[in-house]
Amino acid sequence: MGKFKYLILGQGIAGTALGHIFSGRNISFKILDDGHKSSSSQVAAGLWNPIVFRRINKTWRTDELLPAMERLYGSVESKLDIKIQHHRQILRMHGNKPEADFWMEKRTLPGYRPYLLDAPADVAPFRGGEFGSGVVDKAGFLDIPLYLSESRKYFEEHDSLKQATCEGALSLAETKILEGDEFEHVIDCRGYRSGEDPVWSAVGFKPTKGEVLTVKDDNINFDKIFNAGFFLFGLGEGKFRLGATFDFENMNHTPTADGRNELLDKLASWYPKNVEVVNHKAGIRPTVKDRKPLVGTHSGVQNLHLFNGMGAKGVMLVPYLAENFVDYLEMGGEIISEVNISRFFRR
């Protein structure tokens, strides 16, 4: 019979990050995962963007999130000898005049100068927009499939992962036994599936379906991330990731003709040539009613924890919040108040 301290449920972006941080701190753990059968991480684009475009504000705690990303993903790249971080600038086509005005105002402020750059004179192969454009620096994308698959191999090689379906977080937290092995704590990182578990009924999950395409066009020669209410970025060999849709009604993993057409129509308004669709995927994002992550301990079960609800910005949020969460678990630190799930239990 073996013993370990933490049982992590789910090996998506959140669970994988905790596994690497525990490993780096010599803290014993095991991940229980169903083989990514329902993981939104498998279809996530992996983008990180320090700017929220609606009013041209910095993403929450951007100046802290970016260094934490480098600490985690950089260490994983070194440990596993892989390349998963791809730094790319974003070309943002302004959607209206107020956005363009906000951009010009914010780019003169000291806290924004590292992120907001002058617009290029030429945005080819895309057509120019009525309200102009700008460039965001310190952005990019994470190769999530490679990150998850290589991390899985690493965890398996170190006997830190078991492939099986979790039937319920509460029963595991109560028995503290997994096939004869003893553990102390359960950390639920199952994405939107956690919201289907009755033990988390008080927590405000509000999942969102998203669809993405992989398209091919050998004539597009563009080294930035294009953003005009959708995103397009290169994957190599003439392939590009195009996304994403937001569906608040249909919670399934089925790609749809409507989703495909929506994305292709958006691209066609900026790039008039036809592209070849080579892949079409759908997933369910673990989004939350108040649009904030879910981190903390269950109010009635002190060894049951939640690290979840990272939404569309998971690649940016997870490293920083994972460090904070592990400090809370191991050193008695405080969970960042804005993301603490106690906000739901005290109502």
Is the predicted pLDDT of residue 40 greater than 80, yes or no? Answer: no
Q: What is the pLDDT of residue 42?
A: 58
Say how many C-beta atoms besides its own lie within 10 A of residue 111's C-beta: 10
Kindly list the structural domains of the chain, giving each domain's residue range(s) and its CATH number in brackets, ordered by start. 6-41+144-205+289-345 (3.50.50.60), 208-285 (3.30.9.10)
pLDDT for 122 = 81
* SS3 category, 178: strand
Q: How confident is the model at residue 2 (pLDDT cuts 50, 70, 90)?
A: confident
| pTM of this structure | 0.94
Q: Count of alpha carbons within 13 Å of 14, Cβ hemisphere only?
A: 33
130 vs 239: which has the higher pLDDT:
239
What is the structure's pLDDT at 43? Answer: 67
| Structural contact between residues 30 and 8, judged by C-beta atoms closer than 8 angstroms | yes
Q: In the structure, what pLDDT confidence band is assigned to residue 31 with cuts at 50, 70 and 90?
A: very high
pLDDT band, residue 1 (cuts 50/70/90): low
* Best CA proximity match to 330, nearest among 6, 3, 2: 6
Instruction: Convert the pLDDT of each residue in 170-207 to its tens digit.
Output: 999 999 998 888 999 999 999 999 999 999 999 989 99
Residue-wise pLDDT tens digits, 280-308: 999 999 999 999 999 999 999 999 999 99
Q: What is the mean pLDDT of residues 90-103?
A: 92
Q: What is the average pLDDT across 63-86? A: 98
Which DSSP string do the residues of 99-163 spell out, in sequence order?
A: HHHHHHHHTTSTTTTTTEEPPPS--TTSPP-TT-EEEE-S-EEE-HHHHHHHHHHHHHHTT-EEE
Token pair recorded at residue 57? 């504000």
Cα 73 to Cα 116, 118, 142, 227: the distances in Å are 24, 29, 9, 24
| DSSP β-ladder status, 29-33 and 6-9 | parallel
Q: Give the pLDDT confidence score for residue 159 in this predicted structure.
A: 94
Residues 123-156: tens digit of each pLDDT:
888 988 889 999 999 999 999 999 999 999 999 9
Query: 35, 163 in Cβ contact below 8 A?
Result: yes
Residues, the chain: 347
Tell me: pLDDT of 37 over 80. Answer: no
Percent of the chain clearing pLDDT 70 (strictly above): 97
